[in-house]
């Protein structure tokens, strides 16, 4: 598959990472004193900015673009924004069932030339041990891509639909996720499997290192992308700073990939 005409900001949607081995250890720190309250609106719940304590981490279900097998709680939601353009929401319908979807605003502005980019996802799973989570996820990424069909001709597909199984070892602070499944590119089933490998480790009280990879095997139309960066963790807000690399992307932006900034809001 070629990313030749895909807007740079959209490639973040197909990030794939080859995560390094991470030491997964329990990292739940006790909340201390020394915090400052900020009132948002009269009568609204107060948010806190951590000054001298380790913030809670409600973002263990998500990496930069992929997700872990750790579910959201019932009634809990996460809003994600990347590079202003990409906006997505995930919501815990129950403690074992999560739904989500996203839309790229830049692609809407360019809708005369190509269809808008969006995705949707459902995931079912939960804990199977003290530090193990298992989940099944089905998602569709609507992203027109060039693909080679059986006769060798190039066609434009509607994107990727895939079903994957996910296994996460660890907790929201230190974790490693391995995923695998099969995809369909809108024209035919992929000739090979799809893999996802992701991990996170809490380096400092409120700083977490995050990495993720997607590997889509399709006999010459393979997609491999890797991202690496840090997450600044707050009680309700996290800021992500990192870079995503893949061979086609490196030829369009920087040799080492494309930098990005994102935010996650827990609600």
What's the pLDDT tens digit per position in 125-154? 999 998 999 999 999 998 876 555 554 444
Q: How many domains does the chain have?
A: 1
**Mean pLDDT (whole number) for 171-190:** 89
The residues, ordered by sequence, that sit 6+ positions from 234 with a Cβ below 8 Å of its Cβ are 49, 50, 55, 206
* Residue predicted with more confidence, 48 or 261: 261
Question: Secondary structure of the chain: what % helix, strand, coil (to 5)?
Answer: 5, 50, 40
Give the range of the structural domain holding residue 142, as residue numbers without chain letter. 8-24+58-265
Q: What whole-number distance in Å separates Cα of residue 89 and Cα of residue 223?
A: 25
**Mean pLDDT (whole number) for 56-75:** 95
What is the per-residue pLDDT for 4? 37
> In Å, what is the CA distance from 242 to each residue of 93, 96, 200, 226, 259?
30, 30, 13, 11, 6
pLDDT tens figures, 167-180: 999 999 999 999 99
Q: What whole-number distance in Å separates Cα of residue 222 and Cα of residue 9?
A: 20
What is the per-residue pLDDT for 118? 93
Contact 58, 6 (CB under 8 A): no
Does 20 score more than 60 pLDDT?
no
Asked, for residue 195, whether it belongs to a domain, the answer is yes
CATH number at residue 222: 2.40.160.40
The DSSP symbol for 19 reads P
Asked, for residue 44, whether it belongs to a domain, the answer is no
Contact 142, 157 (CB under 8 A): no
Asked, for residue 40, whether it belongs to a domain, the answer is no
Does 249 score more than 50 pLDDT?
yes
Residue with tokens 């393979």: 222
Asked, for residue 36, whether it belongs to a domain, the answer is no
Torsion angle in degrees (nearest 10) through CA of 45, 28, 231, 22: -160
Asked, for residue 124, whether it belongs to a domain, the answer is yes
Asked, for residue 244, whether it belongs to a domain, the answer is yes
Q: What whole-number distance in Å separates Cα of residue 81 and Cα of residue 261?
A: 9
What is the per-residue pLDDT for 113? 61
Asked, for residue 95, whether it belongs to a domain, the answer is yes
Asked, for residue 188, whether it belongs to a domain, the answer is yes
Contact 250, 257 (CB under 8 A): yes
């Amino acid at each position: 598959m070629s990313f030749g005409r895909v807007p740079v900001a959209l490639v973040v949607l197909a990030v794939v990472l080859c995560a390094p081995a991470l030491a997964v250890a329990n990292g739940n720190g006790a909340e201390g004193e020394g915090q400052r309250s900020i009132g948002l609106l009269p009568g609204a719940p107060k948010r806190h900015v951590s000054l001298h304590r380790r913030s809670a981490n409600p973002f263990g279900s998500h990496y930069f673009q992929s997700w872990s097998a750790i579910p959201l709680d019932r009634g809990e939601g996460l809003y994600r924004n990347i590079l202003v353009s990409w906006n997505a929401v995930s919501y815990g319908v129950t403690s074992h069932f999560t739904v989500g979807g996203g839309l790229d605003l830049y692609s809407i502005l360019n809708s005369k030339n190509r269809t808008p980019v969006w995705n949707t996802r459902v995931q079912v799973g939960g804990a199977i041990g003290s530090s193990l989570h298992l989940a099944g996820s089905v998602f569709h990424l609507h992203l027109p891509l060039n693909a080679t069909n059986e006769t060798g001709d190039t066609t434009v597909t509607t994107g990727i639909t895939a079903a994957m199984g996910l296994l996460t070892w660890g907790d929201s602070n230190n974790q490693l996720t391995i995923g695998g499944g099969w995809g369909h590119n809108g024209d035919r089933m992929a000739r090979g499997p799809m893999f996802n490998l992701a991990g996170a480790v809490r380096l400092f009280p409120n700083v977490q290192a995050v990495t993720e990879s997607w590997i889509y095997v399709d006999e010459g139309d393979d997609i491999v992308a890797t991202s690496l960066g840090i997450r600044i963790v707050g009680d309700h807000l996290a800021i992500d700073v990192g870079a995503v690399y893949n061979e086609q992307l490196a030829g369009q932006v920087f040799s080492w990939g494309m930098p990005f900034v994102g935010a996650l809001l827990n609600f």
